[in-house]
Structure 1
Amino acid sequence: MEIKRRSVLAGIAGIAGATGLPATSYAAHRRYPEAWPEEQPYGLADTRLDLWPRDDNSFVLPLEHRARDAELGRVWMRDTYVNCFVVDGRPVYVATGTTRVPGRPSAGPWNDGIFVWTAPSLHGPWRLADTTGIRPDAERGKVWSPEFADENRPGRTVVAPWQEYWYDEQFGKRGNVWAPELHYFQGTWCIVACMGDHSRKVGSFLLISEGGVEGPYRVAQGNYEKPFGDSFIGGPAFVLPGAYHHIDGGLYSEDDKAWLVLHNNLYAPFRDDMEDIVPTTALPTFDQSPYAPEPYLEGAYVFRYGGKYYLMHAAWDRASTNPDGSARNAYDPPAPGRTQYQYDLIMAVSDRFEGPYSHRWTAGVGAGHNNVFEDASGHLWATFFRNPAFGYWADPSRTADAAVPGVVRMEWTGPQSNRLYVQRRRHV
């Protein structure tokens, strides 16, 4: 997405006229917040409170409640995704994420599908997508679920066999969907999501709407038999051998082209008809600047702004102690003495989609596994959800405020440094 140049230039001209300074002089003097120096050595985490979502730079979306939300008083959500699209000349805000069924503490070993909310502005009102015309007796807002397998017809697959619920002696009912992204591409609504660790096959898939944002959705042809990409050994021990594929799939589009972005270093172009990815002998990889050693990363996402490409990951900041007794916070792999602290948003920038990407920096503390989007006024926002699984937000005193559909304002440091950060209170 490009900067709205006319509004930027108009603002500069107005300020320059009022101060008597030439526009170029003002721009060179102070237009953008400063970029912070890189942490040394490479791989340290920045824990400053300025990089946290706070009351002064963020809020939790007031999403319409379902019956299941009455006890908690809000929507429980992980992997929060929010975006803004222009449809028929008007902005449409959408929200989705990983949710749980009533009575379950988390989104596994099964959950009941993908819910979508829409709004005319970021502050709402946020309403569940009106799915009553498609399934009058089903829960409003649920656009896709393994429950819909009975809607399959010859030539139209709503739920592939590997996405259906199944049962075993260890877990009972199994099958969960997580990390959905909702996109409006070439006049069609589509969802990229992932069948989770408790599914028959674990990995990413594409849903294509045959109507509006509410659906009805069907599975893309390339996912009739399996998720995108090849299977490999991975995931928890309870994942069936051969079932694990590339998780956390997302979509990046530019003009009339779209790419699948896969966990955590892979991408692939979609076919023009969006029914599958372009076949290759091996999926291409982003040219990144890895840490040494490289930890486990999640939630890869690409966003374009100011003519640059931003590659985002979620990484656990692990707290430990240096040999001299001082505190260390870093994106380290697990090891004795290292404790998961915050699930951070780390970011790198490039001139090209495929890279090479710069060194990464901490763009948001506790804001990992998210997306960045531009609202209808040109302001930048990122999502966050406060990971309740481990670390800071898993503390019993904080879990009531974890797993939220949150958004936080972002700031850009300009075309010289090209950094994006959670909006900070001070610039030093």
Structure 2
Amino acid sequence: MVRRELRKAFPHLKKFCSKSFGALSCFRGSAVQEIMALWRVFIGIRFSLFATFFIIFLVFSNPAGGVKVLGPEENVSADMVIDDDLYIVGGDVIIQGTVLGDVWAFGGRVDISGNVSGDVVAGAGTVIINGNVGDDVRVGAGALVLNGHVGDDLLAGTGNIVVSNNADIGGDAVYWIFGSGEMELRGDVGGNVYGGGEHVTLAGIVGGDVDLEVENLNVLPTARINGNLTYLSPQEASIPSGIVGKDINFTKEELTKEEKDVGASLIWWLVRYLFLLTIGLLVLRLLPNQTAVVAETISVSPLANLVLGLMIAVVGLSVPILLFVTVIGIPIGLLLLLATIIVLYAARLYFGIWLGGLISSRLFKKSRQWLDLVLGLFILSVFTSLPRIGFLIYLLVTFISIGSLFSEQRKFYTEMRKKGLL
């Protein structure tokens, strides 16, 4: 559920830092809402990748019940009723029937014209929702078209969004438009609207507040905002009288493009660090001993681990391409490619723990895994963000970590076989 606790915890800030701080002033007007929106959108996009990996697990574990898993060639026809959560991945995902649970759908195109009683989590090039969704909708896509009903909140990070006049959203709408895309809100929203983008059109009814960061805001006579309208823009919009029930708060955008770029980079750097840290803390919680052993292996033979990690990465990226050529091997190739991408993304956790432990043991005379992770990942995030050499550092750290992980796993299985346990 997309909840409102974080929004309630922070008051609306008009100035997060003054112009005197130069580029840092790019944490603009409604900074808290912007950071929250960026965080949620980032989570939605990354969530799609990790959710797909979870589907891979479900497919190979062959669950006995409680969820329904459909492969690339399967869809939900109009006469089907699924009394479970549904996980589906494919080129074109079509859901015309009824799902009495949540839907996780990923593909080139996701089209939902049926009814879903729970949440919808979708990642695709294009997502079209013509049906009814009983709870939240979370979307990371190139384009989103909403013609149906959303019972609670909408969270979207896309290139373009169209909420037609036939659509309605029961809760809040939190969105972010990437690039020079457009957002057309012609339907009704029961709660608040938070977001930003190049061009935004408001034509429906909003039950709460509207808080936007836009280049161009177009408010049509059919629009109605029962709360406040707050927006940051280079130019003031022409708003017909009687449209906004409470106050109109306009802040003129005065930052240069360079300052905006620096601010966006800082925000995304922080979000990436916090996200990777969250994954690392989860890994520590689930596999504390194995994580410690792999981290210790990094310093034993770093050069050998580097070569081994490079070989594994090359194989992991090459084999899926060969499988794609065979056509029949596309599903397996896709799963292998996704698994490889996830490993490439998360492997540096082990290097971060080792680096943090090395520093902690010298500064504090002792180390704790969670503190090592926090410190090590922070340092890694800084160095991998450096211009020119940052990507090289990222590759070295990733390959060494993958090699260490594989070496430790190979040693573990060898010992298990010697003991006759495998």
Q: TM-score range by the shorter chain?
A: under 0.3
Between 1 and 2, higher relative CO (CA 8 Å, sep ≥ 6) is seen in 1
Structure 1 or 2: more strand by fraction = 1
Structure 2 length-normalised TM: 0.23
What TM-score results when the alignment is normalised by the length of structure 1? Answer: 0.23
